[in-house]
Chains A and B, each alone.
Chain A
């Protein structure tokens, strides 16, 4: 949240509420926003999981858990870019399956094909993002429908090519990306590659959201008309968000090949899991509010919760129900907290914020 608030230092005016007080005070205040509260939630869940199963608290199994959660967290960060700009990406799961199948069939058992294969996957991922983005922005089709269309088309294509069965098996070196790690590390035993990829991408995402691109992207989600009038090419901003989302799905797919093997059903439900994670992270559907790391933290909260249920001995079929309850509760609580924040903000700067609100909600 703190990172996502656009800061402009122009005319002297009273500090925004977020800028008052020292670093500690601001951090505490940030924890009270939905985007900050998710970190508290992660901490609480972590303590609960360790209480249920002390073995989980060992550094080795913690880092393995981070590695397992990495694909979901990466997908959630990708989905964040699209959601914060006020759109949806439902095609994520289909992109994951497509990449998994490509990895299985194109790379196969030839090590020489790993690099071209990776490049091909990234290029195809970017292509799907471009198609989604251009259809949403230039053809003005709601992104919900566009990405639903690409989802149907891609998953149809994947099943058509594979016949719905597991086909091909990529070479072990390739699968190491998802499965392996740096071994013989003191304390941790192993640092899984997915955890490293997640860390790098998280740093990149935070950097990107602090660049003009990230700032304008949040602004587009809040009020596209204002951004357009101030001279930004909104179509290119949103298209880049879609490209980032599809690329994130591609990376998630590459990692998943390592664990789950090649099957067209790998990645099923990823779009809704990613959206759930983003929403638990306090990011507002409809755009304009939220922090990218909160989205990743949302993914961790979700996975920790599933782990906790597992340890407590709840049947895995109840996972969906729990996910459903959480998503509703998180958004209801978030809506309340953001509304409270909005009121505070309006009092200190009594300008047009209140009037803009209905428009943004209508667009959502």
Chain B
């Protein structure tokens, strides 16, 4: 076991593993697709995979922020549905209403995120409960006030969902743009660094003079806004707002799975957006390949469940023996592995 780990590059970060897994999945997918007599790398297929990443991508980016801060957001699917409905109803097929509709939908989403953030930070309610509660509140509202799909998107708005630049859909580009902005926020701004600090160890951050509330509130607001964007995108694709579109996709749990698949630690304080994008891409490729294989929709759930658990088990092994650089003395690095090797071997047997 230890000889195998020596062969691996010593500085393989968890993001590195994510992309290694992604490459493996792509290779396996290409082989399987070829066996079915289709071309995995054809423009249409690439475009289909990228389209598959965009919606989960928006939500998973927001979810990463919240998880980095040591919280969770289970209300995202309902925010997505609500935003698609609000925007759809306001647009009502008129091009002139687009700006107003988008702003209102995102404003509503931001407000929900703000409430989530305030409840988590000032009422000291665990993020799991606060957002589960918020999700239920929204579910009740949606269930009571909307019997079915409502509103309609004008043609100009529907273009966002349909337009492709080369093989890359516009929606994916918007998603990647958001990812870059959030990355800059995390790496270049003070509040981004504070978010890591608060997620890693809230009390230590507080004692070091960080105000612990603003980063977490910001994370919740951004998460809801991104979920709102996903709702707008769904509206652009389906051209009607739907009260069940979010919960049907299971975006709450799937986005958390994608974030964790991307190497972010569920307890917070460690992880990055790049890994999350890798996790989302893994899911998209898997879905695509299973679609090509014409696998039963329910078997797909089984495969997804297995992939999540296995992948996270691999990282968990990895992250138990990595420390932030300043704690890792280069000569000690191998020693730390040696002590861990027996448990690893015992578990694999």
* A interface list, Cβ under 8 A from B: 88, 90, 135, 138-142, 144-146, 148-160, 164, 272, 275-276, 279, 285-286, 315, 317-328, 331-332, 335-336, 339, 357-358, 361-364
On whether the beta carbons of A318 and B144 are closer than 8 Å, the reply is: yes
Verify if B91 is at the interface (C-beta below 8 Å from A). no
Of B38-46, B101-109, B198-206, B216-224, the one with at least 4 CB within 8 A of chain A: B198-206
On whether the beta carbons of B201 and A157 are closer than 8 Å, the reply is: no
Q: Specify which of B130, B135, B203, B302 is in contact with A358 (CB 8 Å cutoff).
A: B203
Q: How far is the CA of A225 from the CA of B164 in the complex (A)?
A: 53
Asked, given contacts A286-B126, A362-B201, A363-B267, whether A324 binds B134 with beta carbons under 8 Å apart, the answer is yes
On whether the beta carbons of B299 and A144 are closer than 8 Å, the reply is: no
Verify if B18 is at the interface (C-beta below 8 Å from A). no
Asked, given contacts A144-B256, A285-B129, A327-B133, whether A320 binds B313 with beta carbons under 8 Å apart, the answer is no
- Chain A interface mostly: helix
Q: How far is the CA of A131 from the CA of B67 in the complex (A)?
A: 26
The smallest beta-carbon distance between A96 and chain B, in angstroms, is 17
Of B48-56, B170-178, B303-311, the one with at least 4 CB within 8 A of chain A: B303-311
The smallest beta-carbon distance between A11 and chain B, in angstroms, is 30
On whether the beta carbons of B201 and A156 are closer than 8 Å, the reply is: no
- Which single residue of chain B is at the shortest CB-CB distance from A354? B203
On whether the beta carbons of A144 and B298 are closer than 8 Å, the reply is: no
Q: How far is the CA of A273 from the CA of B289 in the complex (A)?
A: 35
* B interface list, Cβ under 8 A from A: 70, 119, 123-126, 128-130, 132-141, 143-144, 200-204, 253, 256-257, 260, 266-268, 296-302, 304-306, 308-309, 312-313, 316-317, 320, 347
On whether the beta carbons of B202 and A327 are closer than 8 Å, the reply is: no
Q: How far is the CA of A319 from the CA of B143 in the complex (A)?
A: 10
Q: How far is the CA of A145 from the CA of B308 in the complex (A)?
A: 7
Ordered nearest first, which 10 A-B pairs have the shortest CB separation? A321-B140, A156-B301, A324-B136, A152-B305, A153-B305, A358-B203, A149-B309, A324-B137, A320-B140, A160-B298
- For B267, the chain A residues whose CB sits under 8 A away are 142, 362-364
On whether the beta carbons of A362 and B70 are closer than 8 Å, the reply is: yes
Q: How far is the CA of A160 from the CA of B305 in the complex (A)?
A: 14
On whether the beta carbons of A358 and B266 are closer than 8 Å, the reply is: no
Apart from the given pairs A139-B317, A157-B302, 13 other A-B contacts in the complex at a CB distance below 8 Å = A142-B266, A142-B316, A145-B260, A148-B253, A156-B298, A276-B132, A320-B143, A321-B141, A332-B119, A335-B123, A336-B124, A339-B124, A361-B203
